[in-house]
Amino acid sequence: MSGRRSGSGVSSISDDQITHLVFKLQQLIPELCARRSHKASASKVLQETCDYIRNLHKEVEDLSDRLSQLLASIDTDNDQAAIVRSLLM
């Protein structure tokens, strides 16, 4: 391979596009978004993204666990549902 991009009729991804997408991702990660003006390296952004997603997965698991123990007291009739929804504004 001579390092050419295999197009097969489709335009290849430009470096700028990648950089832009990586930067967009950086702004979603709490660890990194403080450095809004400074672009972290793509490698760092992806690494932090993986850690962040793993944390979120763990949070979902912990919350599911918590909810499974609370389930007996959950009475999700229409009124309750409305109350909860109002809390989520």
Partner 1 sequence: MNNPHRLNPTSLKSRFTTRFLRALTKIRAQKPISSSSPTEIFRRYRRIKVAADKSMAYSVRSRRIWSRAMLCKLRSRSYRRQDPCSGRRSGKTNQAIMKKSSNENTTTRREDGVGFVEEADELRQLVPGGETMNLCNLLDETAHYIKCLTTQVQVMKKIADFYSF
Residue numbers of the site for partner 1 (CB under 8 A)? 1, 3, 5-7, 10-13, 17-18, 21-22, 24-25, 28-29, 42-43, 46-47, 49-50, 52-54, 56-57, 59-61, 63-74, 76-77, 81, 83-89
Q: Could you give the CA distance from residue 23 to residue 76 in angstroms, rounded to a whole number?
A: 41
Q: Cβ of 29: how many Cβ atoms within 10 Å? A: 19
Output 36 or 81, the one with its CB closest to partner 1: 81
In the complex, the smallest distance separating the C-beta of residue 65 from partner 1, rounded to whole angstroms, is 5
Residues 35 and 43: their CA atoms lie apart, in Å, by: 15
In angstroms, give the least distance from the CB of 31 to partner 1.
12
